[in-house]
A and B are shown apart, each in its own frame.
Chain A
Amino acid sequence: MAKRFSISQTVIVTAVTLFSLACLFPFLMVISGSLSTEKDIMNFGYSIWPKHITFDSYKILLLGSNRILDAYVISIIVTVVGTALSLFVTSMGAYVMARRSFKYRNILSVYVIVTMLFNGGLVPWYIICVNYLHLKDTLWALILPPLANAFNMFLIRNFMLSIPEDLHESAKMDGAGELRIYSRLIMPLALPVLATVGLFVALGYWNDWFLGLMFVDKQELQPLQLLLRTLISNVEFLKSSSNAAAMQRISAQIPSESIKMALTVITIGPIIFLYPFLQRYFVKGLMVGAVKG
């Protein structure tokens, strides 16, 4: 009995290990590729461990192109401003939907739910954003469209509904207005759900390139993810950079493959760095959502 048990454990552990390694493998390959010389990639393909370690492609990326720094700044601005604004407006909206004393709160909830069910699709959305709201080639195009998210609003509202009504009543007795109750009382109490939703939103903004693809043709406004896509299909644009001479000094030829890998590493860097934190809050948030969606 005991022996059969350990055999099944071995099979299970092997299967799970293989899948886990498969999940890790591409990350290692990209990191290794970014540190490899172009010659090694050409001769031996991508491997998990670089044969000759070189930091040339990182040097070229950082020195050689303002566009990469610009894109990084754009992505950071969009993520920080977008997350802050989104948390601000959705938490206020959620607060109103959670106010039991407000007779018409259900009408507002329906107004929000409809947006989860019925979607106008790409074409009208695109034309409204471009022809009516004039978002084309502006930073706002990367921030505004996903700002008010119905799902996140309901997550926050449900959490707020679990805060005892008495707290609200007594604050009202003390003469506090709704804005004050929201900012001083409810928001601090709702911090756990705000942290979770904040991470959802920040991750969404950091990883977004769809909005850039749709609305940003101007190269200075391209976020990092979109620049990565541009670079994958065309490394040559780096040569038109103002620092082309400095790049030549590092390497006579642009190591196109390892540069792609280096930019990928730079793009996912913050996520890997924050991963332990992200993972914990995401799982928590999923559980909050699962208990009552």
Chain B
Amino acid sequence: MRSNGMLRELMRNRTLLLMFLPVAVLLFLFNYLPLAGLVIAFKDFNFQKGIFGSDWMHPLFNNFDYLFSSDAAFRAIRNTILLNALFIVVGLVFEVGLALLLNEMKNRFFKRLSQSLTFLPFFISWIVVGVFAYNLLNFESGAVNRFVMWLGFEPIDFYSNAGLWPFILTMAIRWKVTGYGTIVYLAALTSVDNSYYEAASIDGATRWQQIRYISLPMLRPTIIILTLLAVGRIMNADFGMFYAMVGDASLLFPTTDVIDTFVYRSLRKSGDIGMASAAGFLQSIIAFVLVLASNYAARKVDKDSAIF
């Protein structure tokens, strides 16, 4: 009887179901099928037999044993976490800092102009940013080396010096997304009631004290939530950035090879699908747990800010 009622409800809403069908199919094909495809990490993949028809590995965890015996895999996991942590911390300083500075600016026109200029890089692709970086950093005609030589020093070969790249990549991200990142903070700051600042300045508080004791505490919930959500994605590197900035420059891999680029190379270049799928499986599972945990924590801080 109950299923009968459900069937009737579905029949009555068949137009709605039909309207949902395209999205349902697309999500099934491009999200749910790959999810089911995670089993490939336990299989001896064969292109002819496909993901689901391939034989199971003997022993089942063979791909993982292989993965854990590889130094490159460990290096990629370490780089992913360390670089993302670096990006999160520096990003926080830049974004909150710029938002505070913009908020203190008196000249409205100048403030709007600065916002427009700093937001601009967000709209171009990492490929283009890669070209910009090349302009600045290349050995013969790069702007940085021209400057270094003008100062009387030897030019620096950036593209073979891995130690510099955590810094270069951090700067590239900051250049591209700082303006974008400040928008949310700036919105939080403009919603602060002006009477707080007025009362503080009557009491003789300096600008710095007003920032320290009014603006920053007002930003705290936003800072905590955005940081938590970023930590939830710490296992996922921005493939576009790494591939466009570093590409195939293997000299730089010791500090720049991350899980996503490692998986890409194993899949498309060396054809090592067992290794790639085991690394991808680990990444998916850990990322899922982290997303749930960070979202749970964000919900604790502020119910409305969690994704779900």
Q: Counting CB contacts under 8 A, is A56 at the interface? A: no
- How many residues of chain B have a CB within 8 Å of chain A? 93
Q: How far is the CB of A53 from chain B (nearest CB, A)?
A: 18
CB <8 Å contact, B308 and A113: yes
The verdict on A118 contacting B40 (CB below 8 Å), with A23-B117, A93-B23 known, is no
- Which of the candidate stretches A61-69, A99-107, A160-168, A239-247 sits at the interface with the other chain? A99-107
Minimal Cβ-Cβ distance residue in A for B184: A290
The answer to whether the Cβ of A41 comes within 8 Å of any Cβ in the partner chain is yes
Would you call A253 an interface residue if the criterion is a C-beta within 8 Å of the partner chain's C-beta atoms? Answer: no
A-B contact count (CB 8 A): 256
Is residue A198 within 8 Å, beta carbon to beta carbon, of the partner chain?
A: no
Distance of A21 Cα from B175 Cα, bound (Å): 11
Which B residues lie within 8 Å of A115 (CB)?
Answer: 27, 31-32
On chain B, the residues within 8 Å of A111 by CB distance are 24, 27
- Chain B nearest CB from A187 CB (Å) reads 12
Asked if B179 and A96 make an inter-chain contact with CB atoms under 8 angstroms apart, the answer reads: no
What is the size, in residues, of chain A's interface with B at 8 Å between Cβ atoms? 100
Is A264's beta carbon under 8 Å from chain B? yes
Task: Considering the complex, give the chain A residue whose CB is closest to the CB of B10.
Answer: A104
> Which residues of B are found within 8 Å of A145, using beta-carbon distances?
30
In the complex, whether A203 has a CB less than 8 A from a CB of chain B is yes
The distance from the CB of B95 to the nearest CB of chain A, in whole angstroms, is 12
Q: Is B142's beta carbon under 8 Å from chain A?
A: yes
Tell yes or no: B220 within 8 A of A by CB. Answer: no
Does B125 lie within 8 Å of A225, measured CB to CB?
yes
Could you tell me the distance between the alpha carbons of A29 and B117 in the complex, rounded to whole angstroms? 15
CA distance A13 to B105 in the complex (A): 7
In the complex the two chains form, what is the Cα distance from A207 to B187 in whole Å?
A: 27
Instruction: Answer yes or no: B224 CB below 8 A from chain A CBs.
Output: no
Given A16-B105, A132-B50, the answer on whether A121 and B283 have CB atoms closer than 8 Å is yes
Which of B70-78, B84-92, B127-135, B162-170 lines the interface with chain A? Answer: B127-135
Rounded to whole Å, the gap between the CB of B241 and the closest CB of chain A is 11
Q: Is A209 an interface residue (CB 8 A)?
A: yes
A123–B263 CB distance below 8 A = yes
Please, which residues of chain B bring their CB within 8 A of the CB of A177? 15
Given known contacts A46-B142, A99-B16, A182-B19, A292 and B304 CB-to-CB distance under 8 angstroms: yes
A residues 205-233 near B (Cβ < 8 Å) are 207-210, 213-214, 225-226, 228-229, 232-233
Name the 9 nearest CB pairs between A and B, nearest first.
A124-B37, A120-B34, A93-B23, A121-B280, A207-B125, A148-B26, A26-B132, A45-B146, A115-B31
What are 23 of the A-B contact pairs (CB < 8 Å)?
A: A16-B98, A19-B118, A20-B113, A24-B120, A26-B175, A29-B135, A99-B16, A104-B10, A104-B13, A112-B27, A114-B31, A119-B34, A123-B40, A124-B34, A124-B40, A124-B277, A145-B30, A148-B26, A213-B243, A225-B128, A275-B120, A278-B123, A286-B183
